[in-house]
Amino acid sequence: MSRRFTPSVVTANDLFEGDVVYLTPDQGWSRDLSHAQLFTDARAAEAALAQAQAQSDRLVGPYLAAARSGPNGPEPAHFREAFRARGPSNYPHGKQEAGMCRP
């Protein structure tokens, strides 16, 4: 029996800035997790990941990160992804600086 697929977003780091980015429904890349496309189907997610892996001229290390649906879009399912989506907790740097994350 195959494992149940966990809803996921496609995420990577931007080649130039290193910042965390997410694949959006219009095939673009956003720095805001809430703009990401949430995949609930394993095949669609794998296909999107494969496309991301082909974009090595702008991305580093794409992978599928577990997420769940929230009122404002996808939310992280694990605390590591929550830190990636928000930035460090000791300074308001990264996405917090850019005003990109909600409290």
Partner 1 sequence: MYAYSEFDRAFLRTRNTQFRAQVERRIAGNLTEEEFRPLRLMNGLYLQLHAYMLRVAIPYGTLNSAQMRQLAMIADRWDKGYGHFTTRQNIQFNWPRLNDVPDMLDALAEVGMHAIQTSGNCVRNVTADHFAGAAADEIADPRPVAELLRQWSTDHPEFQFLPRKFKIAITGSPNDRAVTRAHDIGLRTVLRNGARGFEVIVGGGLGRTPVIGKVLADFIPEADLLPYIEAILSTYNSFGRRDNKYKARIKIMVNELGLDDVRARVEARFRTLRAEWQGVDQHILNDLRRAFAPPAFRVAPTDGFDTAYQRDPGFRAFADTNLAAHWQDGYAIVTISLKAHGATPGDASSDQMRLMADLAERYGHDELRISHEQNVILPHVHKSDLPALYAALKTAQLATANIGLASDIIACPGMDYCALATARSIPVAQDIARAVAAREHDIGGLKIKISGCINACGHHHVGHIGILGLDRAGVENYQITLGGDATETAALGERAGPGFAYDQIVPAIERVLDAYLDLRRGPSEDFLATFRRLGAQPFKDALYLPEVSAHAV
Q: Are 95 and 101 in contact (CB under 8 A)?
A: yes
- Residues 29-58, mask of contacts with partner 1 (x by CB under 8 A): ---------------------------xx-
> Which C-beta is closer to partner 1: that of 42 or that of 66?
66
Shortest distance, position 98 Cβ to partner 1, whole Å: 11
Q: How far is CA 94 from CA 5, 15, 34, 43, 88, in A?
A: 31, 15, 16, 32, 7
For position 9 contacting partner 1 by CB under 8 A, the verdict is no
Shortest distance, position 25 Cβ to partner 1, whole Å: 24
For position 68 contacting partner 1 by CB under 8 A, the verdict is no
- Angle at the Cα of 3 (from 60 to 53), degrees rounded to 5? 15
Smallest Cα–Cα separation from 45: which of 26, 30, 29, 65?
65
Listed ranges 2-10, 21-29, 42-50, 74-82: which one lies at the site for partner 1 (CB under 8 A) = 74-82
| Rg, C-alpha atoms of the chain | 13
Positions that interact with partner 1 (CB under 8 A): 13, 15-20, 56-57, 60-61, 78-80, 83-84, 87-91, 93-95
